[in-house]
Amino acid sequence: MRYPFLTALALTALPLLASCQTMTPEERRAADQRTCAGYGFRAGTDAMAGCLLDLDLDRRADMRSWRDQQNRTMWGPMYVERRVIIRDKH
Protein backbone atom coordinates (compact mmCIF):
# COMPACT_ATOMS: atom_id res chain seq x y z
CA MET A 1 0.00 0.00 0.00
CA ARG A 2 1.33 3.33 -0.96
CA TYR A 3 -0.39 5.61 1.56
CA PRO A 4 -1.07 3.59 4.72
CA PHE A 5 -1.60 6.66 6.90
CA LEU A 6 -4.22 8.16 4.60
CA THR A 7 -5.98 4.83 4.27
CA ALA A 8 -6.09 4.37 8.04
CA LEU A 9 -7.33 7.93 8.47
CA ALA A 10 -10.08 7.43 5.90
CA LEU A 11 -11.17 4.15 7.47
CA THR A 12 -11.32 5.83 10.87
CA ALA A 13 -13.08 8.99 9.70
CA LEU A 14 -15.78 7.37 7.58
CA PRO A 15 -17.63 5.65 10.45
CA LEU A 16 -17.38 8.82 12.55
CA LEU A 17 -18.82 10.93 9.77
CA ALA A 18 -21.52 8.37 9.04
CA SER A 19 -22.66 8.48 12.65
CA CYS A 20 -23.26 12.25 12.44
CA GLN A 21 -26.84 13.03 11.65
CA THR A 22 -29.20 15.89 12.05
CA MET A 23 -32.57 15.77 13.71
CA THR A 24 -35.64 15.42 11.58
CA PRO A 25 -38.25 18.16 11.98
CA GLU A 26 -40.45 15.72 13.92
CA GLU A 27 -37.61 14.85 16.31
CA ARG A 28 -36.78 18.52 16.78
CA ARG A 29 -40.44 19.34 17.51
CA ALA A 30 -40.64 16.52 20.06
CA ALA A 31 -37.43 17.71 21.74
CA ASP A 32 -38.77 21.28 21.84
CA GLN A 33 -42.04 20.08 23.34
CA ARG A 34 -40.13 18.17 26.03
CA THR A 35 -38.05 21.26 26.76
CA CYS A 36 -41.12 23.49 27.08
CA ALA A 37 -42.92 20.87 29.17
CA GLY A 38 -39.84 20.79 31.39
CA TYR A 39 -40.27 24.54 31.86
CA GLY A 40 -43.80 23.87 33.10
CA PHE A 41 -45.87 24.70 30.02
CA ARG A 42 -48.87 22.48 29.26
CA ALA A 43 -49.51 21.09 25.78
CA GLY A 44 -52.17 22.85 23.74
CA THR A 45 -51.90 26.21 25.51
CA ASP A 46 -50.89 29.57 24.10
CA ALA A 47 -47.97 29.63 26.50
CA MET A 48 -46.69 26.33 25.06
CA ALA A 49 -47.01 27.74 21.52
CA GLY A 50 -45.09 30.83 22.62
CA CYS A 51 -42.35 28.70 24.13
CA LEU A 52 -42.05 26.63 20.95
CA LEU A 53 -41.92 29.78 18.86
CA ASP A 54 -39.23 31.29 21.08
CA LEU A 55 -37.10 28.15 20.78
CA ASP A 56 -37.45 28.17 17.00
CA LEU A 57 -36.61 31.87 16.74
CA ASP A 58 -33.58 31.41 19.00
CA ARG A 59 -32.39 28.51 16.86
CA ARG A 60 -32.74 30.57 13.68
CA ALA A 61 -30.93 33.54 15.22
CA ASP A 62 -28.09 31.24 16.32
CA MET A 63 -27.84 29.83 12.80
CA ARG A 64 -27.75 33.32 11.26
CA SER A 65 -25.08 34.40 13.74
CA TRP A 66 -22.99 31.30 13.03
CA ARG A 67 -23.34 31.76 9.26
CA ASP A 68 -22.34 35.42 9.48
CA GLN A 69 -19.35 34.56 11.65
CA GLN A 70 -18.24 31.89 9.18
CA ASN A 71 -18.52 34.33 6.29
CA ARG A 72 -16.45 36.91 8.15
CA THR A 73 -13.69 34.47 9.04
CA MET A 74 -13.72 32.71 5.69
CA TRP A 75 -13.46 35.72 3.43
CA GLY A 76 -12.01 38.29 5.79
CA PRO A 77 -12.08 41.97 4.99
CA MET A 78 -12.26 42.81 1.32
CA TYR A 79 -9.86 45.35 -0.13
CA VAL A 80 -10.36 46.78 -3.57
CA GLU A 81 -7.27 48.01 -5.31
CA ARG A 82 -7.38 50.45 -8.17
CA ARG A 83 -4.14 51.14 -9.93
CA VAL A 84 -3.50 54.61 -11.27
CA ILE A 85 -0.82 54.91 -13.91
CA ILE A 86 0.69 58.34 -14.33
CA ARG A 87 2.80 59.04 -17.40
CA ASP A 88 5.14 61.97 -17.83
CA LYS A 89 4.54 63.99 -20.96
CA HIS A 90 7.91 65.11 -22.27
Sign of CA dihedral 43, 49, 54, 57: positive
Q: Assess if residue 82 is contained within a domain.
A: no
Q: Assess if residue 61 is contained within a domain.
A: yes
pLDDT bracket for residue 76 (50, 70, 90)? low
pLDDT bracket for residue 84 (50, 70, 90)? confident
Q: Which domain covers residue 61, as residue numbers?
A: 46-71
Q: Assess if residue 57 is contained within a domain.
A: yes
More confident residue, 27 or 73: 27
Spatial distance between the Cα atoms of 90 and 86, rounded to a whole number of angstroms: 13
Count of the separate structural domains present in the chain: 1
Q: Assess if residue 87 is contained within a domain.
A: no
- Whether the CB-CB separation of 7 and 1 falls below 8 Å is answered with yes
Q: Assess if residue 3 is contained within a domain.
A: no
Cα 61 to chain centroid distance, Å, stands at 10
Q: Assess if residue 63 is contained within a domain.
A: yes
pLDDT, tens digit (0-9, with 9 covering 90-100), for 5-26: 767 666 676 666 666 668 899 9
Look at residues 65, 67, 66, 39 and name the one whose alpha carbon lies nearest to residue 52. 39
Question: Looking at residue 75, what is its pLDDT?
Answer: 66
